[in-house]
Each structure stands twice: as C-alpha cells, then as structure tokens.
Amino acid sequence: MALRFYLLALFEAQCRLAPGAEWTGGDRPFRGRHGWNDFIAVDVAYQSATDTYVRAPELTQEAKRIRQVKGALLTLEGLGERALVEIPAKKGGKYRDHRAFRLMNETGRGAAALTPDYYTVPPVDKQMIEIPTDFFLRGWVQVLYPAEIFTWLTFRLLNGRFPARHQLLGNYLYAKKREHFHLLRDSWEDSCRTLVEFGLLHRMPTVAEAEAEAAKAAQGSFGSLFSQPSRPSGREDRYEPYRYQLTDKGLAADALEKCMKELVIRLKR
C-alpha cells in the first residue's frame, strides 16, 4: 500500500505541477470524492473475521480507505533519513495532521539536522525512470503486488541505462544485483513470470534456444529426417539467465480485467 500510494502521489504531482515546482497538497481533500482516500483501490468488502465478502455501507468503506491511506503515510514517514513523506503535528502536538502531509524527494527527506528535502517536479531534461500514464490510468498500479512493481520498475531502469541491449537482447539481473533492489530470487522469478502473463514483459530466447531454432529452420523438413542430436556451441551445460524485454503495449489493457482473466486460466490449469 505504501509503495502504491507514493507512486500515485508522484503521478498526481507531475500531472498538476510544472517542472521545478515544489510539491504541495493543493486543494485536494483527504476524504470524499477525488480525495486522497479515493486514489486507492481497497478490498473493503472482505471481512477477515468471517472470511466472507459483505458489501459495507458507504461510510464504512470510506473509513477503511482512510485507515489504509493513514497506514501508508506512517510507513513512508518511518524510514528515517529515507522517509518519503512528512506528517506534521496538529496544534498541541498530541495528534498527527495526516491531511497536511508533505511529499519528500525520491531519495528521502535527508538528515534530520538539515532542511527537509521536499519533492519538486523534475525538469524535462533530467534522466528519470519513465512510467507510461497507462500504468496509472488503466489500473496496473492497483493490481500488481509490490514485488511485481519493483521488478517492473527495475526493467524500466535497465531500459533507460542500456536501451540498445534491452531492445536487442533484453535485460536480466544476477543475484548480487537483485539484492541491491531488495528482490529475492523466488519473488523475482515469480514476478517476471506474472508480468509475462499480464503482457507487460516478453521473455527473450536464450542463445541456446535461438541457435536451436536457427538450426531447425536451416535443416528444413527434409534435413530433419536425418538430423542427429546436437549440442550447439556446447551451451546446454552453460547457465544462461532469462532475459526480458518491456512490452508497454500491454499497459493499454484494463488491469483488473486482465488480472481476472489470467487468474481464471491459472485455476483451470
């Protein structure tokens, strides 16, 4: 929830403010229609006590959304020098004023003794991780798990750093690099698999797969009658990580609809 809310807040800021402008909450309310609580898709019908789905009254739904948003803000603030939001205290200092939260820079608020580093919309020429608007407008930010979002953003970073390699061969991460992004092997592989199923990543063929396919095409149907088992370049014994390529056209699909469709396919398997 915290990652989702921070990305949505960045998106809201860049839609509303000019490059170089410092973030402010503007006139957006904390609750109600088009308020911050309305930005988050929360499963408010699920009752954990009874493990059932019951449609709650509108006021109850709003209260649950507000609790989720407040929890996200507290999580983002509790990161020390890397805090991504700042929540001021109300008069008297006893309670926090969540409605007046301030958005911090992507690298955090900075050292406590220094002036807090509030978020400013970056200039157009600054190198950034570019996120297509469909990621937000089509609901992908709402349906992907944090590990899947981290993995997807990692490929966006790699695409920006190594665009030619990404377009030709795709990108990958070895263990040490994955640890830098706080991604364990299982969560990385599961996320890549899910993103492929959702149409947001494309798995590129390995060198061995490409060579085998090329050899098969070169032999033709007649040559295949006399073909012998081969080990192209001895690559069967060589570890090759799976490489992936971004497929942004997949973002145009409705995220919830695509997610439900893939869930049904998994259940049928």
The alpha helices in 175-245, defined as continuous H runs, are: 175-180, 185-197, 207-223
CB count, 10 Å around CB of 186? 9
Per-residue model confidence as pLDDT tens digits over 61-100: 777 888 888 888 899 988 888 889 888 888 877 888 888 8
Confidence of residue 227 (pLDDT cuts 50, 70, 90): very low
Placement of tokens 């665009």 in the chain: 163
CB 108 within 8 Å of CB 84: yes
Average pLDDT score over residue span 229-242: 56
CB count, 10 Å around CB of 167? 11
Q: What was the pLDDT predicted at 53?
A: 65
* Residues 123, 137: Cα–Cα separation, whole Å: 23
* Residues 98, 77: Cα–Cα separation, whole Å: 11
Per-residue model confidence as pLDDT tens digits over 123-145: 877 778 889 999 999 999 999 99
Res 177 pLDDT > 60: yes
Structure tokens at 60: 């109850």
List, as one string, the DSSP characters of 33-81: TTSGGGGS---TTEETTTTEE-PPPHHHHHHHHHHHHHHHHHHHHTTGG
Model confidence, pTM: 0.78
Confidence of residue 148 (pLDDT cuts 50, 70, 90): very high
Structure tokens at 180: 């830098």
Per-residue model confidence as pLDDT tens digits over 163-173: 878 777 787 87
Q: What was the pLDDT predicted at 54?
A: 65
Res 231 pLDDT > 60: no
* Closest to 69 (Cα-Cα) out of 28, 29, 43, 39: 39
Res 224 pLDDT > 60: no
Contacts of 208 (CB under 8 A, 6+ apart): 232, 233, 235, 236, 238, 240
Q: What was the pLDDT predicted at 141?
A: 93
Confidence of residue 250 (pLDDT cuts 50, 70, 90): very high
Give the gyration radius of the chain's Cα atoms: 23
